[in-house]
Structure 1
Amino acid sequence: MSSPNFKLPTIYTLFFLIIEPISALVGAFYANFKPLQYLRLTHADSSPTTTSNIPLSTSVVLTQLANLYLLFAINEAVVLRSTSSLRVWRAVLIGLLIADAGHLYSVSSLGYGVYFKFWDWNEMMWGNVAFVYAGAAMRIAFLTGVGLDTEGGRDGAMKAEMKREMQAAMKKIG
């Protein structure tokens, strides 16, 4: 596992490179291989009663959703793990933060209570709302530099980025 040239606090390493990719894979598994359970946990009243009653269009959409969860996991577990560029980290996390907003919007038809009535949440809502809140908070913290001001943090990252850019420019010159 490649580590960034900037000092990545342990909480970011755990969340972005381990916990969140595993969570996305779990979502992909349920959307693709347990579609009836996925639909029931999302909204039981509108879910089909059996797997054979799942409309073909819904089945296709769930498989596409599973694929997007897989892409989400790859972006974090593979792309972020394989780069030492703060610029790439920021770009990926900005994209994921935008996706967080879209994910939260996707449950809006369940009513505004879905966003704060945690006592009514099932495991799907904990994943669709609370975990997304946590992910968005972690991304905002990273993007605003929280925890990156430690030794080798933000200043070190900027110096490392400048050094890589100078090395790339020097290679182009000669």
Structure 2
Amino acid sequence: RLPLAYRLFFLYLEPISALVGAFFTHFRQQRYLELLNSATAPARHVPLSTSVAMSQLANMYFFFAINEALVLRSTRDLRVWRAVLLVLLIADLGHLYSMKELGPGIYYDVAGWNAGHVGNVPWVYAGATMRCCFLAGVGL
């Protein structure tokens, strides 16, 4: 049986947080953009092309949530868990890389983080750390 910390994080906490991300990127697009970078967020309405791209991002958050929650729940096979978590670790790195245009401070300036940044940087750090620990066999 897998350690409780891994089960709680990968089967509950992270999928729920990904669903929150999906909700905000689809249903609260203006707010999401303001939290991401208030200086460049549209003043009134989200442009149609941006809205479509954000809904596509919401779908990817949704996919992330159901992939992690359902695939990992379906098996105790560590090979499957390792494969899924490796793919998600690669996605974490891509997610963090996508934040680079906000400047290097986005990665370490804790005092400058808002709620949106917390979901996009330290929360991703936490997920990546948990995946690295799992893949390294910590606690298994």
The TM-score normalised by the length of structure 1 is 0.79
Q: Which residue of 1 aligns with 2:77?
A: 85
Q: C-alpha separation between the residues in 2 aligned to 1:118 and 1:58?
A: 28
Does 1:33 pair with 2:16? no
Q: 2:8 aligns with which of 10, 14, 31?
A: 14
- Identity, in percent, stands at 60
Structure 1 runs, 4 residues or longer, greater than 2 Å off: none
Q: Report the alpha carbon displacement of residue 35 of structure 1 after superposing the two structures with TM.
A: 0.3
Larger radius of gyration: 1
2:39 partner SS: helix
One-letter identity of the residue aligned with 2:49: S
Give CA-to-partner distance per residue, 1:80-111, whole Å, 9 cap, x none.
Answer: 01112111101100000000000000110000
Give CA-to-partner distance per residue, 1:32-74, whole Å, 9 cap, x none.
Answer: 0000000000000100112xx2111100100000000000001
Q: 1:134 aligns with which of 108, 126, 134?
A: 126
Q: Which residue of 2 aligns with 1:155?
A: none
Gaps of 5+ in 1: 1-6, 149-174
Q: C-alpha separation between the residues in 2 aligned to 1:140 and 1:13?
A: 15
One-letter identity of the residue aligned with 1:81: R
Q: C-alpha separation between the residues in 2 aligned to 1:99 and 1:141?
A: 16
Q: C-alpha separation between the residues in 2 aligned to 1:112 and 1:90?
A: 30
Please give the root-mean-square deviation of Cα atoms over the aligned residues, in Å: 0.6
Give CA-to-partner distance per residue, 1:110-153, whole Å, 9 cap, x none.
Answer: 000100001110001111000000000000000000000xxxxx
Pairwise mapping of residues 19-168 of structure 1 onto structure 2 (< 5 A)?
Answer: 19-50=13-44, 53-148=45-140
1:11 partner SS: helix
